[in-house]
Structure 1
Amino acid sequence: MNVPETVFSHEWLLFLSVCESKSLKETAERFNISTSSASRSLKRLEDSVGVTLFDRCSKPMVLTESGKRLYRQVLPAMKITQEAMEQVREENYLFSDLRIGFLESMSLHLAPQFLSTFKKKVGRITCLTGSSDRLLECLRTHDLDIIISSDPALRYTDWRRLMIIREPSVAVFPKAFKFEDNHAKNWQSLSLCNLPFINSYEKSGRGKLVNNFLLTYGIQLNGKINVDNLAIKLAMVVDNNGWTITSPLSLMTHSAFLDKVTLSALPGLGMERKIYLLSRSDFSQELFESIAREICRIYKESVMPTLKKMTPELKDSYFVPDFDEEIN
């Protein structure tokens, strides 16, 4: 939870973080201090409150009954204070600093435009890029405020989420490779195409999507290599070492390969990639919606036309939600 230290002291923030994470070590790492320093800060808080908040005889240490009661009472007060501060900022059209994470596939054609147009709405923007699993971890550990992820992270039931983009997947083959009618008739023809399948890393968003799809429909593709980097996969495809599946948006980021490969729509039921905007529940609802609108606007106006031109047979497979309000 992001609350200015001028409102809640460093000791109180440490206390709440330990209550949430149940780990003094994790809290110390989050605040970039040593475990002993964090422990001393908590002792100062106990001295100021006048009661013992942690049972240090337990390993790891646990909250006492007084500590549990204090946590239950302080947490709502913190949320009320944060909401009041956000309301004041929103009334004055000013948000706090923003830490946002984008998927790697958005780093070239979407993130730069967003940062350029959104910088006037916040104090300062910090932008990280990476795979869904990395961004989710940064959101979970409070290193980011909001992320764009292909994993909806449904296990975090209290997080705010919105599906903002839906796009098809495409098969990528070496330039000289041809099916009899230029397209795979079915998944069996793909599995028997005499080229090994180069899959994505199983814990990545693409890897989860592909593997879940293949498992659901009982499809087996021959291949022994899993790679977490699309550039490596495309380089192998160009060298006739296999074929792969990816998204058109990801291909835009590696446009140098487009003239060296052949794209093919997947047969029958395709595998859609859904992209979500995710934040914790304490993140400003108004700012969340404003970010969603801006990302969807950029995607629809600046990205989608190129994607449809790249994959004309899939032009009806792209989707972004419509919002009632125009983005200013």
Structure 2
Amino acid sequence: MAATAKNNVHSLLYSTTLDTFLAVCQHQSFTKAAKALGLGQSSVSQNIQKLEESLGVALFDREVRPIMLKPEAVMLREVLEGQFSEIENVVSLIREQNELKPIVKIGVIDSLSTNVAPALIRKLTEQTRQVSVLSGISPNIAKDLLNREVDIIITSDPLDGIEGLSRYFLCQEPHLLVLPKNSELRDTPVTWQQLISYELPIVRYSRRSASGRVVDTHFSRMRMNVPFKIEADTTRVVLSMVADGLGWALSTPLCLMQCKDILDQVHMQPAPQPLFSREIYIVTRHQEYLGLVDNILAECAKQLSLALLPDIKKNFPWVVDEIVIDERAVDLACKL
């Protein structure tokens, strides 16, 4: 709940004390809550102390790190979040009845920001008073959602461990093996063991990115130790390094389609078995923007089906059948 969300209904109807309480619950840290709220740590401590004194109970166990919520804090948080969700729905209804359109901020992962975001914005301008789009890697836009700097995110990280969020599956796509054009491994069935012992190292996505974490998780499950020397945040940098013969990489069709202009400089083929996939979700705070979410799902499914899949089929024909788009999203797209 960032201090930048001044115009949010939440900041109008809730006190600073309760706002501070919810931030501490979310971050399980006074320091992180203070940073998210734009307050000093002493102010956060005073607000929590004031709330605890008014209730006559301690809400947090401060003796452990991260701090733990006591049962009373869990109960209070659930009530407040439920009330906040109800208030947002009532405000949306009031706006609808008075033909007042919402102001919405959306965070979009880089792999969809170029190919999907323009059409999505065109669609949302019909239903919003103002729409802003921020792009970036999944961890950054997830942080923006948790800090209330954006309202909706399209992300490859569903934030499974965080309560108070609603998640909507959009699509799933496999990883592909990207090799230098002159690699002796090209056009041959390759095993993971061959890649690990290959003379060139993996050029990996940064561990800061969701793509890097997905690859790490796969290697961990396979109990593979894959040494690396080079990592980067963006697909363009990863592909450029592979094109220069510095290593091999794992990427997905949607990531690769950001860089159509340099795809001819590298070689793509199916990754070794067992394959692993990346999933993309739309995530909001619990039950917020329900109407807009359906429209976002529909428009994303439409762009994936009509614009991106034909391009993917042209560049990587073997992979099209392994891309799954949510059936409900496709049904919604058919009604547009």
Task: Name the TM-score, length of structure 2 as normaliser.
Answer: 0.79
Relative to structure 1, the CA distance from residue 41 to residue 95 in structure 2 (aligned partners, 3 Å threshold; closer, same or farther) is farther
- Pick from 175, 178, 199 the counterpart of residue 169 of structure 1: 175
Asked if 1:117 is matched to 2:154, the reply is no
8 Å CA contact retained: 1:184, 1:264: no
State the distance in 1 between where 2:202 and 2:21 align: 50
State the distance in 2 between where 1:74 and 1:213 align: 38
Task: Report SS of the residue matched to 1:234.
Answer: helix
- Report deviation, 1:130: 1.1
Output aligned runs, 1:196-211, within 5 Å.
196-211=201-216
Asked if 1:98 is matched to 2:111, the reply is no
How many aligned positions are there? 322
State the distance in 2 between where 1:162 and 1:70 align: 26
State the distance in 2 between where 1:95 and 1:112 align: 20
State the distance in 2 between where 1:70 and 1:195 align: 55
Output aligned runs, 1:73-222, within 5 Å.
77-91=83-97, 94-179=100-185, 182-222=187-227
The answer for the alignment partner of 1:270 in structure 2 is 275
The CA deviation string for residues 36-74 of structure 1, in whole angstroms up to 9 with x for no partner, is 78899999x99xxxx69999xx999xx9xx999998876
- Report deviation, 1:88: 2.6
The answer for the alignment partner of 1:252 in structure 2 is 257
Relative to structure 1, the CA distance from residue 251 to residue 76 in structure 2 (aligned partners, 3 Å threshold; closer, same or farther) is closer
State the distance in 1 between where 2:113 and 2:96 align: 28
Relative to structure 1, the CA distance from residue 147 to residue 53 in structure 2 (aligned partners, 3 Å threshold; closer, same or farther) is farther
Asked if 1:225 is matched to 2:225, the reply is no
Which structure 1 residue ranges, 5 or more long, are not aligned?
none
Task: Report SS of the residue matched to 2:294.
Answer: helix
Identity of aligned residues (%): 25
- Report deviation, 1:160: 0.7
8 Å CA contact retained: 2:85, 2:288: no
State the distance in 2 between where 1:261 and 1:128 align: 29
Structure 2 residue identity aligned to 1:106: L
The answer for the alignment partner of 1:306 in structure 2 is 311
The CA deviation string for residues 183-225 of structure 1, in whole angstroms up to 9 with x for no partner, is 3332233334432221222242111111211222233444332
Which structure 2 residue ranges, 5 or more long, are not aligned?
2-7, 64-68
Structure 1 residue identity aligned to 2:313: K
- Report deviation, 1:305: 1.3
- Report deviation, 1:77: 4.6
Asked if 1:318 is matched to 2:323, the reply is yes
- Pick from 241, 245, 251 the counterpart of residue 240 of structure 1: 245
State the distance in 2 between where 1:42 and 1:197 align: 48
State the distance in 1 between where 2:127 and 2:156 align: 26
Task: Name the TM-score, length of structure 1 as normaliser.
Answer: 0.81
8 Å CA contact retained: 2:205, 2:233: yes
State the distance in 2 between where 1:199 and 1:13 align: 39
8 Å CA contact retained: 1:138, 1:144: yes
